[in-house]
Structure 1
Amino acid sequence: MTTPQVIYLMSDATGETAEKIVNAVLTQFRDKPVRLRRISNVRNETAVLQGIGEVMQHKGMVVYTVVNRALAQFIQETCENRGILAFDLVTPLLSQFSKFFGRSPGQTPGLLHDMDDDYFRRIEAVEFTVKHDDGQEVRHLLQADIVLVGVSRTSKTPLSTYLAHLGWKVANVPLVLGIEPPKELFQVDPKRVVGLYIDPQRLVELRVARLKHLGQDPRAAYADLGEIEEEIRYAKILFRRQGWPTVNVSGKALEETANEVLVKMNLK
């Protein structure tokens, strides 16, 4: 069995914020065994050195949320001197906010833990959406706030991601002509499913561009107008049969499409 790599979450408060963000990122590295270890209430250099001593023993990485700039710099320099990979989640954001508001931050430890529920809801939504992209984890479709359905290249993934950042748990399921959709899709409340469709000629353009980007023949059946028209016809028949609301994504900005999805689902 592969030994898990250890990521240390060093914080001047609980470390909960860092853990939520790191877990969201780790969904992109599911093949890597990882263990998270919190080092909380780090308020002085002694605590930093004690924590880094443990990091060195396990050859780990450090992700830290410390609002005191001097202490954050001490963590970064200490890690660099010891060859430890470290990442500061807070200081860059504090710096930009200082420029925006025209004053220095309060540098009060623990305030990050007081972020409102809406922030954590968005983090949870993004994590859920990443896990349920492109038909993954269909057994959890019932947990989704929104399920997007459509043929390939109908903006399912970018739309899912945009909606997730608004706080909605989104799953998306691709439709493939000749292949029955997963049975779990039909168990979802029809009011929570939205069918996406697009102008066939526009879809040809998108798929040709995709094939060229991948170095494949743009004349493949995947980008054939006749095949695409049949796919969209099949999708629309399925949408009508299931009673799912539909959205035409042709020529629309992502924000406009997202707004239409939320309106049709009575979520806005």
Structure 2
Amino acid sequence: MEEPQLIYLLSDATGETAEKIVNAALIQFRDKAVRVKRLSHVRDKNSIFKHLDEALKSRALVVYTMVNRELAQLVHDECEALGLPHLDLITPLLMKVSEFFGRSPKQTPGLLHDMDEDYFRRIEAVEFTVKHDDGQELRHLPHADIVLAGVSRTSKTPLSTYLAHRGWKVANVPLVKGIEPPVELMQVDPKRVAGLYIDPQRLAELRAARLRHLGQDARAAYSDLEEIEEELRFAKAFFRRNGWIMVDVSGKAVEETANEVLVKLKLK
């Protein structure tokens, strides 16, 4: 059986980027026995000397991603001195981008990994929020970062979506006058719940427009101003009893409302 050849991956961050690139290249050499050894968080000279001495024993190919120029140069010089084949995956790109932007790179390891972590966190938040829109999946309310409550047409869904795209897992629950709120809502930590309300006249206009869009009578009780005023009184009293923060969404952009929610919940 053929002895596998070694590829050493050295990185001052996680090394995930280098591993993905190398594995993409290795697909073109499926007939070769290869073992990839990833070495993460290599950030000092002694670690570099140690790993390169090990690589020398196997005559390995050294692939490295060091955003710190001094360390990248050290790996290059040592590999040259030891006669090890080597490839710097990041420095040429950093220099070209630096030239393009007319500024030096930050030389901070791990920025790409941090970006990936943030991206996947936001994706997870969006998926959670979609599944927990308009009172769905109430059993998962304890897992929400933020719970929004309010009567119909108080911007619960757009606000939830906006917050989710910024990494917050949001659930929203509609309140209906005359119907007991779900038990699960009452079990959520009050410090994570925001009660939304709106100017009665504006809400009447929004509801009437919604009814017209659905081809229904815009004069129904759903859009009646007196009914709406009673609904909002009920909602505000309910918010106060439960110790929830209250946010007026009247005439505000979703970004402004989202910021107010985060500030009042002390999440920002």
Tell me if TM exceeds 0.5.
yes
1:147 match: 147
Aligned partners of 1:177 and 1:261: how far apart in 2? Answer: 24
Whether 1:185 aligns to 2:189 is no
Give the Cα–Cα distance (whole angstroms) in 1 for the partners of residues 189 and 219 of structure 2.
39
Q: Distance in 2 between matches of 1:185 and 1:114?
A: 34
Q: Tell me the equivalent position of 1:160.
A: 160
When the two structures are superposed, what TM-score results if normalisation uses the length of structure 1? Answer: 0.59
Q: CA offset at residue 118 of structure 1? A: 1.2
**SS at structure 2 position matched to 1:256:** helix
Structure 1 position 119, deviation (Å): 1.2
Match of 1:224 in 2: 224
Note the 1:1-268 alignment, pairs <5 A. 115-268=115-268
Q: Is the partner of 1:247 in helix, strand or coil?
A: strand
Match of 1:94 in 2: none
CA distance in 2, matches of 1:262, 1:225: 30
- Aligned-partner residue type, residue 246 of structure 2: T
Distance in 2 between residues matched to 1:166 and 1:221, nearest whole Å: 36
Q: Which amino acid in structure 1 is aligned with residue 194 of structure 2?
A: V
Deviations 1:218-257 (A, max 9, x none): 0111100111111101101100100000000000011000
Letter in 2 for 1:210: R
Counterpart of 2:39? none
Q: CA deviation at 1:115?
A: 4.2
CA RMSD of aligned residues (A): 2.6
- Partner deviation per Cα, 1:50-72 (whole Å, 9 max, x = no partner): xxxxxxxxxxxxxxxxxxxxxxx
SS in 2 for 1:250: coil
* Counterpart residue number, 2:33: none
Measured after TM superposition, the shift of residue 117 of structure 1 is 1.4
Letter in 2 for 1:140: H
Cα distance change, pair 177–45 in 1 and its aligned pair in 2 (3 A): same
**Separation in 2 of the partners of 1:190 and 1:162?**
21
CA distance in 2 between counterparts of 1:224 and 1:43 reads 66
- 1:168-196 per-position Cα deviation (integer Å, ceiling 9, x unaligned): 00000000111111100011100000000
Deviation at 1:43, TM superposition (A): 5.5
Partner AA of 1:206 in structure 2: L
Match of 1:61 in 2: none
Secondary structure in structure 1 of the residue aligned to 2:147? strand
Structure 2 vs 1, CA of residues 112 and 230 (structure 1 numbering), >3 Å: closer, same or farther? same
Q: Secondary structure at the match of 1:129?
A: helix
Report the secondary structure of 1:266's partner residue: coil
Measured at CA, do residues 211 and 46 of structure 1 come closer, stay the same or move farther in structure 2, by a change above 3 Å?
farther
Q: Which runs of 5+ in 1 are unaligned?
A: 1-12, 15-40, 48-97, 103-110
- DSSP-derived class of the 1:116 partner: helix
Q: Aligned pair in 2 of structure 1 residues 42, 124: CA closer, same or farther (>3 Å)?
A: same
The alpha carbon displacement at 1:116 in A equals 2.9
Query: What amino acid is aligned across from residue 204 of structure 2 in structure 1?
Result: V
Question: Which 4+ stretches in 1 moved above 2 angstroms?
Answer: 41-47, 111-116
Q: 1:113, CA displacement in angstroms?
A: 7.6
SS in 2 for 1:216: coil
Q: Which runs of 5+ in 2 are unaligned?
A: 1-18, 30-96, 102-110
Structure 1 residues 149-173: Cα deviation after superposition (integer angstroms, max 9, x where no partner): 0000000000000000111000000
Q: Secondary structure at the match of 2:181?
A: coil
Change (3 A) 1:116 1:219: same
Question: Deviations 1:97-143 (Å, cap 9, x if unpaired)?
Answer: x9xx89xxxxxxxx988843111111110010000000000000000
Q: How many residues align?
A: 173
Whichever of the two has the greater Rg, that structure is 2
